[in-house]
Chain A
């Protein structure tokens, strides 16, 4: 007999989308959170509104790891369409919870797992009168069944219902009845299991919040002074703009008037153009989009780069174009961001990895954009942006907004007195960053005419080869200056350790856990969490100090590794890419597997291994 694991459990819930499972899953997840057990959830949903399969995976983990767990202990099999596959997803010795209103089909019987039936369809027919609600509330029954099996207190569930539906007592009551029906059924049957127990941890999650990266970014943008927000709906970025729409009236209305403008544009080309117009006019402007939208925005990004217009783009990465995998996660638009647009362009990118850094980098991105007078990207992915993460509360660092080298009429007056002439694109300070004025500045020398790459230091039209090259070189110099300003990587090193791991964004959690597992298995690693592009000296030193550095990223072609190798070709051979690109949130096991496999074959030479891996993936 197995001894139950305490507070170490993964539950995968298979449902059809559009059946209200999101509410049920939310109640279950928040109840575990309220017990004080560290937990995380991953929503693997289809690009569809009703009728396609969706899985919601909850992980409770006393040790606080939040990556998607690589094994599924419990499968809630509430979608007939995927049941035949779902029975193989659960681990040996795991549990399958299914609706036994009708007998289980023969092909769904599998050895080595425990089956528990709860007659959800039958129960719901007794409880809920025929109505559209019936199908939605059916899912609440598994919440009750799981609560009984794993020890979630009904009082905790009531509190969650109160928090969620506080203003609608009738909704609380109707959901509670369903949850209780599931709970009582299991109790009456006397079902028991011994694989895991959830036990309350007093103050375990005290002071912690649950939110999504898109919401944290939205709040960060608002606190960063975002004033014109133009966007076009696209998964998985829409919820960022919608969160801004949700919070702006509460946070930024003054005497009933809006101190902001949010525009749902007609397409991403317009969204980017509006952002550019607003940034040029002198306000803090932003957009949010995903890969396909970013493709459409490229032309305006180029103009903003060459005309030196501040603006911020939140890119929530997902899988591929068109019908692709819009609801799955990727980090495969890194180079599309870094080199966005035509001509010689490269851009600053901020890379959050948790809720606090989402908020903080979103806020600061506007300072960077104005300081450097350029488009700044905040690189997100669906996993970070749309999944629930528990976190310390969002924290506002109080510091003055950095408007950069923005000249007022008074300052221009001073300049004139000093005999200094305002030249829009002249590098006065040797850092590549010119001075800027904005429309409405009443000084008679403030105005200039903005255009693309063909201009001289005085913003006059020019096709002169010297002027053009000067512009390109100065912009490159500005980019070099940016290296000193962008957030530095967070580095963890231990004496004598010669193996490093680099990761960024949503890979942080699985890598954190993978490193602990590798250490337990005898491989100690140092770590660098990358937080921005351009790369900084710290990353170079990290590479130089190690024999081998695993660079974990979520794309096929090692896009970030290419940027490293381009930057420091002499260190390129030290990088071994760990590439995960199936569209699902990274699991710890996959990181461990790839690193271990490479370690095992390291004697044969890293190159050979890389070659083999590449061939295997083709």
Chain B
């Protein structure tokens, strides 16, 4: 379209869209989809190099609503982490983005999720967290806060699983929390995750307007808005741009990502260093105690190699190897046969 803004690879933001959404009107997930589209567009990522993965649930439907030029796999409930692990090893040159929900990730898929992070599989893993099972109509999930009420009034008396805390403990190397309604913060955080090589976990609060948006819920739009506690403003600068940002020595933090892109974190209230796991854990606990949602880049570890590197994979993706590599010479089989004769 004439006049429409194009990115570095001559695509418009529209080129990153997908099929029309079938979420409820006003669903937080749609806002996250918009941020995902924005992030890919701004980072000028070729959609043909992206794979979209998901499990089961409302959130897991959303990969159909962005990047229609990318391959996508809507897997079974809770298994996206493991599916992504396999896909990543098969072709580590692709950029994987996974979208999951709190049921998919924190309940049925918790084990696989933990082990994916333990392996530091390269992925941008977004949890659209609304504390409720939407697609099965309103049961509590494992991220529902203790004391939160269900639509019918039922009280949740189990403590919530904090996915960011879990992620840090288990070895994820890029851990962020954000809010579906804060595109200014969310889009650069997604860009950062895409530039990072390793498990990038984004726990995104995303109110369910149909089943969890009432008085007494701690995941309603109103409650979340009132209790957001951003630790910094986030700027993302892609590797191909040489922009100077307003950077305050001593209080702002600059994070250099694996592809050379940068994230600049501007201090809001107090000093926060995302490279310190202890500080991050303390901050999360303090926020939870106050009933606040800490948002921003909570933790970052640039040093840990991702799983494909750990596995010493050759540079060519396994999917592109031909028979000359895949099938060893017959002489080696003869050798082994000879060993079996002993």
Contacts and interface: CB of A to CB of B under 8 A. Distances in A.
Q: Do A and B come from one complex?
A: yes
Interface of A: 30, 163-164, 207-211, 219, 222-225, 227-228, 230, 247, 250-252, 254-261, 263, 265-267, 269-271, 273-285, 299-300, 302-303, 307, 393-394, 396, 398, 400-401, 438-442, 444, 446-452, 461
Interface residues of B, number: 62
A440 B94 contact: yes
Contact of A254 (B47, B72, B77, B314): B314
A276 B341 CA distance: 37
Contacts of B71: 438-439, 446-450
Given A269-B79, A274-B85, A282 B115 contact: no
Contacts of B87: 277-278, 280-281, 439
Contact of B319 (A250, A260, A438, A447): A438
A281 B336 contact: no
A375 B79 CA distance: 18
Contact of B112 (A258, A263, A273, A440): A273
Given A393-B337, A440-B319, A282 B48 contact: no
A515 B333 CA distance: 34
30 contacts: A163-B342, A210-B340, A228-B89, A255-B314, A257-B313, A257-B315, A258-B313, A270-B82, A270-B111, A270-B112, A270-B115, A273-B83, A274-B82, A276-B83, A279-B90, A280-B86, A281-B94, A283-B91, A285-B86, A299-B76, A307-B73, A440-B48, A440-B49, A440-B93, A440-B320, A442-B48, A449-B64, A450-B73, A451-B74, A452-B76
B333 A223 contact: yes
Nearest to A359: B333
Interface stretch (B126-134, B145-153, B322-330): B322-330
Pick the 4 closest A-B CB pairs, nearest first: A277-B86, A225-B326, A274-B86, A273-B82
Interface in B56-114: 63-64, 68-77, 79, 81-91, 93-94, 111-112, 114
Contacts of B330: 396, 398
A283 B328 contact: no
B341 A300 contact: no
B332 interface: yes
B90 A227 contact: yes
A456 to B, nearest CB: 13
B326 A259 contact: yes
B312 interface: yes
Contacts of B70: 447
B289 interface: no
B321 interface: yes
Given A251-B332, A440-B93, A449-B64, A276 B75 contact: yes
Contacts of A283: 89-91, 318-319
Contacts of B260: none
Given A270-B79, A270-B115, A276-B75, 18 more contacts: A208-B341, A219-B333, A257-B312, A270-B81, A270-B82, A273-B83, A276-B83, A280-B87, A281-B90, A281-B319, A283-B89, A299-B77, A394-B333, A400-B323, A439-B91, A441-B48, A444-B69, A452-B76
Contacts of B337: 209, 393-394
B175 interface: no
A261 B76 contact: no
